[in-house]
Amino acid sequence: MNSSKSNHSTQLMTIYETLLNEIDVGVHVINEAGKTIIYNNKMAEIESLTKEEVFDQDFLEVFQFEDGQRSTLLEALFEEKEFKNMKQTYFTKNGKAITTINNTFPIYENDKVIGAIEIAKDVTKIENLIKNNMKLKGDTRFTFDSLIGDSSAMKEVIAVAKRATRTPSSVLIIGETGTGKELFAQSIHNGSEHSSGPFISQNCAAMPDTLIESILFGTKKGAFTGATDQIGLFEQAEGGTLLLDEINSLSPMLQAKLLRAIQEKSIRRIGDTVNRKVNVRIIATINEDPVEAIANNRLRKDLYYRLSVVSLFIPPIRERKEDIQLLVHHFIEKYNRIFQMDVTEISDDVMQLFEQYDWPGNVRELEHVIEAAMNVLVGTSTIETAHLPYHFKNKSTLGMQQKSSIVSVYDPNQEKQVSNSIGNNDKSTPTPVGNLKEYLLNAEKYYIQRTLEKHKYHKTNTAEELGLSRQTLQYRIKRLDIDA
Ligand SMILES: Nc1ncnc2c1ncn2[C@@H]1O[C@H](COP(=O)(O)OP(=O)(O)OP(=O)(O)O)[C@@H](O)[C@H]1O
Ligand SMILES: [Mg+2]
């Protein structure tokens, strides 16, 4: 009888152990001395530690907490506190930052605390995603004074934008990458009645749909596994401005939800049953022609009508070349201040190249070129062609003149350019360009750059033509250091 009982309890132990190691939440138990006695597989995975590193160790030898932060597990043990869905960030002894949402409680035996249990869900990745993608108040540096541009096109958009500061209407800013959409959005915010409220910006293309939905609207505890009571950006931006970048990358379902929020001036957290009033000015941006976006089902017509009460079209630099000189001097002054330099001029050759160039990355690209040139400038106060960064020389007319037969290998459609170029035209004997790996990387970079230009830097379309996922394209752009 006794032996069958003990058989039964060892079986139960095995079952408990299997259960602990198979479930998808981290479980960490410490005894009354604060030493680890249970640490399941999921916990080891979340914290990137082995069980051996944790078992029977003093808790604070293995985990560190920032000043003012305390361990929920130790508080449960020593102060008999219970925590439900408590978010906690801490560091392992290997320096890895971990963010979890915990249920933590003491374990009693005969009214005496004999240990504490923590059940943890890992949210480190989601936390990082949110942190990297959200800029909170404090980042709103720009006002209309920061906007450089004397062309009639720019003066006109600035005038419309200034008028938009007087009303709380939604604004749609249309412009290619680097044309200054964020700068305009911040200037409108800072010039408006909403300026005392927060300015929050969110790029809609940066995250999967489900995540962006909870980030925008918030969640109610229990809405889905792991959901906590969390306010969304609409509520965080209360009394201020919410900038939604690249709204054309939101799904039609989310675009409809966004439209409803704007129209009804209220939102409902995911999983909630109550509507909450919000007083937020919405500024949305789109980096392609809205008519084309509507035709290709990337933008809902009803949302477009609603947003475009005020629409600002910021022209690309190639359509307002008269602004180049002003911008160049503005950025030279900016980097003179930052680098403690005294650059005063730019050579006529460089200015000519700038005027002939198409500037697909617009003002951002121009700024980077000036910054890069000033980085290599020594003992002279004039920016010359020699100081220009390689990627610019390569893409500008200077590059066209110097390009070798490598062009013909990468892009047969460029016949005309090649035959005009000074380089070697024989396609069968390309100029040596280093080892094969280097050659292929250059080819890849060139081809991606060309395709991006062709699609006016629209990543989804570029990825489609290249037969890559958008994410893979992003990865390659970063790896190959492509300006996009
Ligand atoms: N008119 C301008 N005057 C001065 N600086 C400008 C102007 N337009 C853009 N810039 C500068 O160019 C850079 C890019 O601007 P911004 O981030 O506003 O572009 P964007 O249109 O939001 O680009 P993206 O679509 O890639 O997000 C910033 O550093 C900004 O300061
Ligand atoms: Mg932007």
* Distance between Cα 177 and ligand 1 center (Å): 8
Which of 8-12, 359-363, 380-384 bottoms out in mean pLDDT, i.e. has the lowest? Answer: 8-12
Mind giving me the DSSP string for 193-253? Answer: GGGGS-EEEEEGGGS-HHHHHHHHHEE-TTSSTT---EE-HHHHTTTSEEEEE-GGGS-HH
Is 128 or 347 the better-scoring residue by pLDDT? 347
Tell me the mean pLDDT in the region 414-425: 31
Q: Give the residue from 81, 101, 122 where a domain finishes.
A: 122
Claim to verify: residue 194 and residue 281 sit in the same structural domain:
yes
Q: Which of ligand 1's atoms lies nearest the C-alpha of 366?
A: 12
Q: Give the pLDDT band of residue 3 (cuts 50, 70, 90).
A: low
pLDDT at 193 over 50: yes
Q: Which CATH number is 483's domain given?
A: 1.10.10.60
CA 200 to chain centre: 13
Residue 40 has pLDDT above 90, yes or no: yes
Q: What angle do CA 241, 202, 456 make, to 5 degrees?
A: 115
Cβ count within 10 A of residue 36:
21
- Residue 47 in contact with residue 98, Cβ under 8 Å? yes
Q: What's the pLDDT at 430? A: 38
Residue 126 amino acid letter = I
Average pLDDT over residues 439-443: 73
> Do residues 99 and 127 lie in contact, with contact meaning Cβ atoms separated by under 8 Å?
yes
Question: Which residues have their alpha-adjacent CB atom under 5 A from ion ligand 2?
Answer: 181-182
Tell me the best of 179, 314, 325 to mutate to test the pocket of ligand 1, counting ligand atoms within 8 Å of each CB and taking the most. 179
- Asked if residue 6 has pLDDT above 80, the reply is no
Q: What integer is the mean pLDDT of 158-165?
A: 96
Does residue 276 lie in a domain region? yes
- 205 lies in the same domain as 105: no
| Assigned token pair, 174 | 């249309």
Task: Considering every ligand atom shown, identify the ligand nearest to the alpha carbon of residue 181 and give its number.
Answer: 1
Q: From its phi and psi, is residue 138 left (phi > 0), alpha (psi between -120 and 50) or beta? A: left
Q: What is the distance in A from the centroid of ligand 2 to the CA of 60? A: 43
In a domain, 424, yes or no: no
Average pLDDT over residues 343-359: 94
Judge if 200 and 104 occupy the same domain: no
pLDDT at residue 406, as a whole number = 37
Q: Which comes out higher in pLDDT, residue 73 or 9?
A: 73
CA of 183 to the centre of ligand 1 (A): 6
Predicted TM-score (pTM) of this structure:
0.61
For residue 329, report the distance from its CA to the centre of ligand 1, in Å. 16
| Residue 118 shares a structural domain with residue 176 | no
* Ligand 1: centre distance to CA 383 (Å): 22
Q: What is the pLDDT averaged over residues 35-54? A: 93
**In this structure, are 172 and 297 located in the same domain?**
yes
- pLDDT score at 126: 66
- CA distances in angstroms from 43 to 51, 168, 407, listed in the order given: 9, 48, 53
Instruction: Single out the residue in 75, 91, 122 at which a domain terminates.
Output: 122
Our mutation pick for probing the ligand 1 site, out of 364, 371, 477, counting the most ligand atoms within 8 A of Cβ, is 364
Angle between the 324-339 and 348-356 helix axes, to the nearest 10 degrees?
120
- Ligand 1 neighbours (beta carbon < 6 A): 146-149, 175, 177-183, 245, 287, 363-364, 367
Residues 245 and 106 in one domain: no
Q: Are 148 and 245 in a shared domain?
A: yes
* Structural domain count, the chain: 3
Average pLDDT over residues 54-75: 87
Same domain, 116 and 139: no
Position 408 pLDDT exceeds 90: no
Measure the CA–CA gap between 147 and 41, rounded to whole angstroms: 55
Q: Using the predicted structure, report yes or no on whether residue 443 has a pLDDT greater than 80.
A: no
Output the pLDDT for position 35.
92
Over 80: is that where the pLDDT of 383 sits? yes
Question: Pick the residue with more confidence: 148 or 376?
Answer: 148
Residue 368 lies in a domain: no
Nearest to 395 by CA among 419, 434, 369: 369
DSSP string, 252-285: HHHHHHHHHHHHHTEE--BT----EE---EEEEE
Across 8-18, average pLDDT: 87
pLDDT averaged over every residue in the chain: 85
Least confident of 76-90, 94-108, 385-399, 428-442: 428-442
Last residue of a domain, one of 294, 315, 336: 315
Average of per-residue pLDDT across 377-382: 84
Out of 190-199, 273-282, 310-319, 415-424, least confident range: 415-424
Q: Which tops the pLDDT comparison, 407 or 391?
A: 391
Q: Which atom of ligand 1 is nearest to the CA of 149?
A: 1
Do 297 and 159 belong to one domain? yes
Pick the range with the lowest mean pLDDT from 152-156, 160-164, 418-422: 418-422
109-113, 203-207, 220-224, 303-307: least confidently modelled range: 220-224
Residue nearest to atom 24 of ligand 1 (CA): 177
* Shared domain check, 182 and 38: no
Q: Give domain status of residue 336, yes or no.
A: no
For residue 393, the model assigns a pLDDT of 85
- Cα of 156 from ligand 2 centre, angstroms: 20
Statement to judge: residues 153 and 45 lie in one domain = no
Among 106, 112, 109, residue whose Cα is nearest residue 77: 106
Confidence tier at 432 by pLDDT (50, 70, 90): very low
Q: What is the CATH number of the domain that holds 308?
A: 3.40.50.300
For ligand 1, atom 10: residue with the closest CA: 180
Residue in 154, 183, 325 to alter for ligand 1 test, most ligand atoms within 8 A of Cβ: 183
Residue range 432-450: average pLDDT?
Answer: 72
Nearest-angstrom CA–CA distance, 359 and 47: 46
pLDDT band at residue 414 using 50, 70 and 90 as cut-offs:
very low
Does residue 378 lie in a domain region? no
Residue 409 pLDDT class (50, 70, 90 cuts) = very low
**CATH code of the domain containing 47:** 3.30.450.20
Question: For the chain, what percent of residues have pLDDT higher than 70?
Answer: 87
* 199 domain residue, yes or no: yes
Quote the ligand 1 centre to 142 CA distance (angstroms): 10
Instruction: Provide the greatest CA pair distance for the chain.
Output: 101
Partnered with residue 119 across adjacent β-strands are: 27, 103
Classify residue 332: in a domain, yes or no: no
- Stretch among 87-101, 251-265, 288-302, 417-431 having the lowest mean pLDDT: 417-431
9 and 28 assigned to the same domain: yes
Distance CA 290, CA 299 (A): 7
> Is 364 within the bounds of a domain?
no
Region of poorest pLDDT, from 10-24, 261-275, 349-363:
10-24
> What is the domain range of residue 248?
132-315
Q: Answer whether residue 289 shows pLDDT above 80.
A: yes
What pLDDT does residue 223 have? 76
